[in-house]
Every structure is written in structure tokens, then in C-alpha cells.
């Protein structure tokens, strides 16, 4: 199937969120697919804020959307369009349809329509506006404006993911394009905006499939060129239910707060519906080169938090330590305040020995406390009595040996191994004792790399503190 079909000179796509809530992860996936498609086709990616819902649209939600896009790196090629600034345009088009006899004013009350809807439910048939006001010469206010939809024939289109889809026009009612308060409805203004922005491809979730025939009929009524449509598979929870807060974060930016890298989240999201063979991990330039609609599946994608953590662990290992340091400082500055006196190159070295063992930033910060944080609190009661005795014995022997070291990791390891051989022990028990001394027993990075970075003053001080705690 030709992804560039229907005669548009340039691929232009848009992401059009509504600022009635935070940008959820499904919306971020839609933005990603649109952005990648535009970049893969050397086209343009546009952002439109669909804020016609005056009561529910809030600035904080718009800010969340814009910041989410910035964090993920989804750059758009034109300034964002806000639907709230285009009400005059929508009213003008509605008047045009009225003048052409393609729309009509309707003063049917909510109670009247509810009664018809209830009757349809009892008769087990779909509700369809009965055309009460189609030929009325005069209507009362308040009133809405409806399109005139022909009941003859069918409306069909070729979905670039799902193939041929058709709807019987008799199942499409005379739907409202302008509400009684003068605000436009979604299916109305989206057609006008897509036309004015010269959108060539509409990529959106498959929950919009039923909106498509209404929009196509409106395109045709207005003499607009119909864009290509591609409906993306839904994202479901592991329980096969529609993705909701109970399956994950409510906002995309919560994943930043939880400590996921943007590239990790992008790689996780792109595989929710798209694939390129068996390849699991991609850099951005690869995705921009390889992405295509032909590799998007029809089946719903499953949101798997364990898979996200696995992907995140890969990119925590893969990112240069200096870049990870700068990123962590940017978004987790207060949590890293204990490293403020640490030289950047030393902090970088510390991160380099930790990043392969953690999956998210907070785990890395916890590990960095072992290196650069305050001295640990020792609690020998957490040890078995026999281990406490062994730790005390080993540390007494190790203290002068460690103090005499050059504090290069190779020298440290060699000295400790020599002590182990002298005592007829394996390295492990002595390493456990040292780890307890310098961390208080917490999980820590590689032992000898950690000792080298901590330095003689810190290590010898902590060994002394551990001996005192163990001997008490």
C-alpha cells in the first residue's frame, strides 16, 4: 500500500491533543508515530491544541503537553495552532454549509432527544436523529447546527494500516457541528483544521475509526481534499482492559519523575504496535530512517511495565556516563545535592561503575549515596552472630593493609586477595566484610572500583567506624 497516496505533494501530519487532562502514555505514542512518520518521509510534523472545551481545558494541561513534547524531543515544524483562536473560522464554515443547504438549525430539546434515544434502546436499535428540524423555516433559540447526511449509499476509505473500511450512510445521523453555546464539535473543527493545515495523513488511535465517515462526508461537502487515514492499534493493560491509571502513570511526565530516560520511553512506546524485525533497541536517527506504516500491526498492544524496566536498564547502561550525570543533575538536582562538592569527572566515574546495575535514575542515586553520601549507620544486629564475629576479625586484619594501599582498584584487589589466601579464605567473605564497612550493608557498586573512587580518607574512616560498631 502506498503510504504517500492521494496526491498530496508533501507529507504533513499533526498531533492534536486536548488540554482537558495530562498527556497520557497513549497520546505520547500517537505523537511519536506521527513525528517519526513525518521525519521518515522528509515531511512536516505539526502540533495542534484542541482546546474548544472551554470548561475543561486548562493552562496547566497545555503546559504539560508542551513540556512532554520537549522532554521527548518531538520537535514540530510550525508554531502550535490553538483551536480556541479559530472560532470565527468555524462559524464562517458553518454559515457556508447553511447557505448551501448542507446544514440546518435544530431546536430539539435534550428531553425530546432523550425520549427518542430511550425508545431506540427499548427497540434495540441504534439511535439516529430523526430529521425533525431538517425542513423547518424557523427555529427557536437555543439551537444547534446539524449537517445533512444522505442516507443513500456508503462511505468508504482505505486505511493505510487496516485496509478497506466502509460504513452505510443510513447509519450516520445528522450530527451536530455547532453547539447551542456557539462552540464547534470535534468532528467539525478537526476537518477544517486539517484542511487549513494541509494535513496529508491522519494517524490516530483506532477508537477514532467511527468518526472517519462523518469527517469524510464533511470533507466532500466542503470540497476539501480527503487526507489519508491510518488508525493505530490501542494500548491495553496486561489484563487486556483499556489502559488506565491503574496500569501506569497518569501523565507522560510522571515517567520522567520516576527516572526513565526519554530514549528508553521512546523505544518502549515505539514497540507498542510497530516493529522492525527482531530489533529491540534503536537510536533516534535509526527510528527516523526505518519507521513506516507498513510495519504497524492491527492487534492491540500490551503495556508491560517489566518490559519498560528492561528497556530502561539497557539505555541506562548505554548512555555515556557524562551525559547521564548531566541529565540526572538537570531533573534530579535536589536529590543529588549530596554530590555538589564532588568534581564532575569523579561523579562521572562513580556513575560509570553504577549505571550497568540499575534501571532508573532513583536507583542510581541510591547507589551514589554509597560513594559520596554521608557515612552509613551501622546496625550489627542485622548480621548473624557468626558473621558479625567474622567481619570483626577480617576488618581488623584488612585495616592496615587497606591503609597501605595506593588506592588503585588493582592494588586494592591484589592486597585483599593476598589477605584471603593468608587466612585460608575465599575472596567473598572478606569482600562482604569490606562492603559492610563502607556501605553499612546496603547494595553497592563493584567493591574495588567503589573503594578507589571513595578514596583513602573515606574508606579508612568507615572501616574504623565499622570496627567500633562491631566490637561494641
Q: What is the DSSP letter of 356?
A: G
Locate cell 517519526: which residue?
36
Q: Quickly tell me which residue has 504539560 as its cell.
A: 64
- Give the C-alpha separation, 86 to 319, whole Å: 44
How many Å apart are CA 198 and CA 227, to the nearest integer?
Answer: 9
Phi, psi angles (nearest 5°) of residue 27: -65, -40
Q: Report how far residue 216's alpha carbon sits from residue 158's, in angstroms, rounded to the nearest whole number.
A: 12
- Per DSSP, the residues of 248-300 read S-SSHHHHHHHT--HHHHHHHHHTTTB--TT-----HHHHHHH--GGGB-SSP
- The upper half-sphere exposure of residue 257, i.e. CA atoms within 13 Å in the direction of its Cβ, equals 9
Distance CA 463, CA 471 (A): 12
Selected catalytic residue, list 140, 245, 377, 384: 245
- Phi, then psi, of 228 in degrees rounded to 5: -75, 145
Task: Please give the order of strands across the beta sheet that includes 176-178.
Answer: 103-106, 144-147, 176-178
Residue 214 annotated as catalytic:
no
Given a contact cutoff of 8 angstroms between Cβ atoms, the answer to whether 315 and 264 are in contact is yes
Residue 172: CB atoms within 10 A of its CB come to 21
Q: Which three three-digit cell numbers place residue 103?
A: 446544514
Can you tell me the distance from the alpha carbon of 327 to that of 348, in angstroms, rounded to the nearest whole number?
A: 12
Q: What's the CA gap between 195 and 223, in Å, rounded?
A: 10
Catalytic annotation, residues = 245
Amino acid at each position: 500500500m502506498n503510504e504517500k497516496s492521494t496526491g498530496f505533494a508533501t507529507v504533513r501530519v499533526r498531533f492534536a491533543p486536548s488540554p482537558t487532562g495530562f498527556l497520557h502514555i497513549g497520546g505520547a505514542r500517537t505523537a511519536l508515530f506521527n513525528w517519526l512518520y513525518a521525519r521518515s518521509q522528509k515531511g512536516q510534523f505539526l502540533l495542534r491544541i484542541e482546546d474548544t472545551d472551554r470548561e475543561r481545558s486548562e493552562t496547566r494541561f497545555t503546559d504539560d503537553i508542551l513540556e512532554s513534547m520537549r522532554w521527548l524531543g518531538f520537535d514540530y515544524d510550525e508554531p502550535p495552532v490553538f483551536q480556541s483562536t479559530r472560532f470565527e473560522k468555524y462559524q464562517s464554515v458553518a454559515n457556508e454549509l447553511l447557505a448551501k443547504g448542507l446544514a440546518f438549525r435544530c431546536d430539539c430539546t435534550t428531553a425530546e432527544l432523550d425520549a427518542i434515544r430511550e425508545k431506540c434502546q427499548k427497540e434495540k436499535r441504534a439511535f439516529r436523529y430523526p430529521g425533525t428540524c431538517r425542513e423547518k423555516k424557523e427555529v427557536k433559540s437555543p439551537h444547534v447546527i446539524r449537517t445533512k447526511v444522505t442516507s443513500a449509499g456508503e462511505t468508504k476509505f482505505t486505511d493505510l494500516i487496516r485496509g478497506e473500511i466502509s460504513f452505510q450512510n443510513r447509519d450516520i445521523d445528522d450530527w451536530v457541528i455547532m453547539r447551542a453555546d456557539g462552540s464547534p464539535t470535534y468532528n467539525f473543527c478537526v476537518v477544517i483544521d486539517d484542511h487549513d493545515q494541509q494535513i496529508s495523513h491522519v494517524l490516530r488511535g483506532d477508537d477514532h475509526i467511527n468518526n472517519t465517515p462523518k469527517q469524510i462526508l464533511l470533507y466532500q461537502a466542503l470540497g476539501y481534499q480527503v487526507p489519508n487515514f491510518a488508525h493505530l492499534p490501542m494500548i491495553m493493560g496486561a489484563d487486556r482492559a483499556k489502559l488506565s491509571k491503574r496500569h501506569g502513570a497518569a501523565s507522560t511526565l510522571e515517567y520522567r519523575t520516576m527516572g526513565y530516560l526519554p530514549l528508553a520511553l521512546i523505544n518502549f512506546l515505539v514497540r507498542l504496535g510497530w516493529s522492525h524485525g527482531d530489533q529491540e533497541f534503536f537510536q533516534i536517527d535509526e527510528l527516523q530512517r526505518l519507521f513506516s506504516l507498513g510495519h504497524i500491526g492491527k492487534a492491540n498492544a500490551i503495556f508491560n511495565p517489566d518490559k519498560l524496566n528492561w528497556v530502561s536498564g539497557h539505555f541506562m547502561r548505554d548512555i555515556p556516563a557524562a551525559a547521564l550525570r548531566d541529565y540526572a543533575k538537570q531533573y534530579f538536582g535536589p536529590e543529588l545535592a549530596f554530590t555538589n562538592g564532588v568534581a564532575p569527572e569523579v561523579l562521572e566515574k562513580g556513575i560509570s561503575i553504577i549505571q550497568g546495575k540499575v534501571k532508573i535514575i532513583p536507583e542510581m542515586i541510591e547507589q551514589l549515596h554509597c560513594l559520596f553520601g554521608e557515612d552509613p549507620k551501622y546496625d550489627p544486629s542485622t548480621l548473624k552472630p557468626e558473621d558479625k564475629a567474622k567481619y570483626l576479625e577480617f576488618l581488623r586484619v584488612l585495616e592496615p593493609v587497606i591503609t597501605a594501599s595506593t588506592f588503585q582498584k588493582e592494588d586494592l584487589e591484589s592486597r585483599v586477595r593476598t589477605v584471603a589466601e593468608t587466612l585460608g579464605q575465599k575472596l567473598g567473605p572478606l569482600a562482604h566484610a569490606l562492603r559492610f564497612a563502607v556501605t553499612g550493608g546496603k547494595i553497592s557498586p563493584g567493591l574495588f572500583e567503589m573503594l578507589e573512587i571513595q578514596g583513602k580518607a573515606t574508606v579508612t574512616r568507615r572501616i574504623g567506624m565499622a570496627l567500633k560498631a562491631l566490637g561494641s
